[in-house]
């Protein structure tokens, strides 16, 4: 699948104000500065569709993009560290959980993980919550271009080992690099397959 048209629809902080739940929806989430916006721009071939920033906590809203007039791609605020007051972080977390649990047309949540780092407690706890809540998700390991192939393979194996401490099977995952346009075809093919299955 190749995305031909991607347009920004709206930003908001309440699931009730999201677009009508009449199309498949795929959301991207991860710790602050993991590369969500860069990945969205890479997938859609638009350099500035989603706002990127070197400063953690840039995305503070639920951002909806309509893709080829048939499905939504959603950029969600990062979780975990962000240089904002605790009260505001708690407000973000409540907003995210409301969206994830209540959005009936959310077909899959993509949890972005920086491939350079070992498994982080905040990511593991978040994915455990998704599993307990019955939310379908896949992992996308980002910034793969920053590692040598052998380092990347070692990091992925270590991550799998950590996941298997609490998971019976490893969730589906993709390896990506926005710089090298790595993983684009595989991620879009997965979305296309899910869309076709649900029709």
**Phi and psi angles of residue 179, each rounded to the nearest 5 degrees, phi first:** -65, -45
Higher model confidence: residue 194 or residue 33?
Answer: 194
Higher model confidence: residue 79 or residue 186?
Answer: 186
**What was the pLDDT predicted at 53?**
47
**Residues 15-73 pLDDT 10s:** 999 999 999 999 999 988 898 889 999 999 988 787 654 444 445 789 999 999 999 99
Helix or strand (DSSP H, E) at 187: helix 184-198
Strands (E), the chain: 6-12, 25-30, 62-67, 71-75, 106-114, 137-142, 173-175
Q: Which domains does the chain have, with CATH numbers?
A: 6-198 (3.40.50.300)
Q: Angle between the 36-44 and 184-198 helix axes, to the nearest 10 degrees?
A: 80
pTM for the whole thing?
Answer: 0.92
């Amino acid at each position: 699948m190749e995305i031909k048209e991607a347009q920004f629809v709206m930003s908001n902080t309440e699931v009730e104000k999201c677009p009508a739940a009449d199309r498949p929806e795929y959301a991207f989430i991860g710790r602050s500065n993991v590369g969500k916006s860069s990945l969205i721009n890479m997938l859609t071939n638009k350099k500035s569709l989603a706002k990127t920033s070197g400063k953690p906590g840039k995305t503070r809203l639920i951002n909806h993009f309509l893709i080829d007039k048939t499905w939504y791609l959603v950029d969600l605020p990062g979780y975990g560290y962000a240089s904002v007051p605790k009260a505001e972080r708690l407000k973000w977390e409540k907003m995210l959980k409301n969206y994830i649990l209540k959005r009936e047309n959310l077909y899959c949540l993509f949890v972005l993980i920086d491939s350079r780092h070992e498994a982080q407690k905040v990511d593991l706890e978040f994915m455990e919550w998704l599993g307990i809540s019955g939310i379908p998700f896949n992992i996308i390991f980002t910034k793969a271009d920053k590692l040598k192939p052998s380092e990347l393979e070692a990091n992925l194996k270590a991550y799998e080992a950590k996941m298997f401490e609490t998971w019976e099977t490893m969730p589906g995952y993709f390896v990506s690099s926005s710089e090298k346009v790595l993983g684009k075809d595989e991620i879009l093919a997965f979305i296309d397959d899910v869309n076709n299955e649900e029709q």
